[in-house]
Structure 1
Amino acid sequence: MAQLKRSRDRVIAGVCGGIAKWLGWDVTMTRILYTLLTIFTAFAGVIVYIILWIVMPEE
């Protein structure tokens, strides 16, 4: 399996693009799902996003 890396196809930091590429999903759908998940989990997704931004290496 490929290594999880931030994508150069980015809106903010490339985290959702990297996750989409790693899972083989559509980037737009991944961003929509991540946004919905963030809203429905009382914005815990923002903290996870920042952590992934720091931890994930760039492509």
Structure 2
Amino acid sequence: MNKLYRSARNRRLTGLIGGISENLGLSTTLLRIIFFISIFATGGTSLLIYFIAALVVPKESNHVDPYAYDSNVRGYK
């Protein structure tokens, strides 16, 4: 079973939906649309739950950015 984390690669606000989509194997765009609709359907309760979950769920720890600058190598990796 995969551990839930906030994505460092696939993020718009906190990376929570990106992490959920990577964990479940679903489209991030689809989950974002469903979440946006749920904000209005629940009267904003899902937005409150989102921010609480963003505080509880840890960030992705082992993400390596392939475009990051490395001082040991000339230019980019």
- State which structure, 1 or 2, has the greater radius of gyration over its C-alpha atoms: 2
Q: Which residue of 1 aligns with 2:2?
A: 2
Matches within 5 A, 1:21-32: 21-32=22-33
Distance 1:45 1:26 in 2: 19
Give percent identity, aligned residues only: 34
Which residue of 1 is the match for residue 57 of structure 2? 56
Higher relative contact order by CA 8 Å / sep ≥ 6: 1 or 2? 1
Give the whole-Å Cα distance in 2 for the aligned partners of 1:25 and 1:55: 22
- TM-score norm. by structure 1 comes to 0.93
**TM-score in terms of structure 2 length:** 0.73
How far off its partner does 1:22 sit?
1.1
Higher helix share: 1
Length, aligned pairs only = 59
Point out where structure 1 has 5 or more consecutive residues left out of the alignment.
none
For residue 51 of structure 1, give the secondary structure of its aligned residue in structure 2: helix
Q: Distance in 1 between matches of 2:32 and 2:40?
A: 12
CA distance in 2, matches of 1:55, 1:10: 16
Q: Which runs of 5+ in 2 are unaligned?
A: 61-77
